[in-house]
Amino acid sequence: MPIRPANLATMSAAIAGAVSSAAPDQAGRGPVTVVYASGHHQTVEGLGRRALESGEGGVVAVRADSGTRYVLFADAALPPGGRDRTLHSGAGPVSFATPVRAGAIALGRLPRTHGVR
């Protein structure tokens, strides 16, 4: 199924924000620890999109250093039609008062030009 141009632009912007085009020595490959409502922890490493474990009650925290960017997606894989739902994006640690039902996370790191070492 083809991806519509409007959806492609949104998807590309979300992924580009997480996966920086920084040099390899600046690339934040994690590790990032995803904490679930059940108390379970999942460690994720490497650039790009990774599926999150299901059945753990949703994500309540993401533990990452301040330069590691990430995007939480609703689905583990890009759904048919190319409509990816971004639930949260940011850099560094975050906690959620209400568990976030995320299916995947994409990792990246800000380049040093943004003041991050």
**What pLDDT is recorded for position 21?**
46
Question: How much is the pLDDT for 117?
Answer: 32
Average pLDDT over residues 60-78: 89
Q: CA-CA distance, 82 to 79, in Å (whole number)?
A: 6
Q: Is the pLDDT of residue 24 over 60?
A: no
Q: What is the C-alpha to C-alpha distance for residues 91 and 117, in angstroms, rounded to an integer?
A: 13
pLDDT of residue 42: 96
User: Using one digit for the tens of pLDDT, what is the confidence trace for 90-112?
Assistant: 988 999 999 999 999 988 854 44
pLDDT value at residue 11: 62
In this prediction, residue 112 carries a pLDDT of 44
The residues facing 106 across adjacent strands are: 49, 71
End-to-end CA distance of the chain: 41
Query: Whole domain around residue 74: which residue ranges?
Result: 5-114
Residues 6+ apart with CB under 8 A from 58: 36, 37, 98, 99, 100, 101, 102
Count: domains in the chain: 1
Give the CATH number for residue 22: 2.60.20.10
Strand 86-91 relative to strand 32-36, pairing: unpaired
Mean model confidence pLDDT for the chain: 77
For residues 36-50, average pLDDT: 92
Mean pLDDT to the nearest integer, 49-64: 93
Q: Looking at residue 116, what is its pLDDT?
A: 32
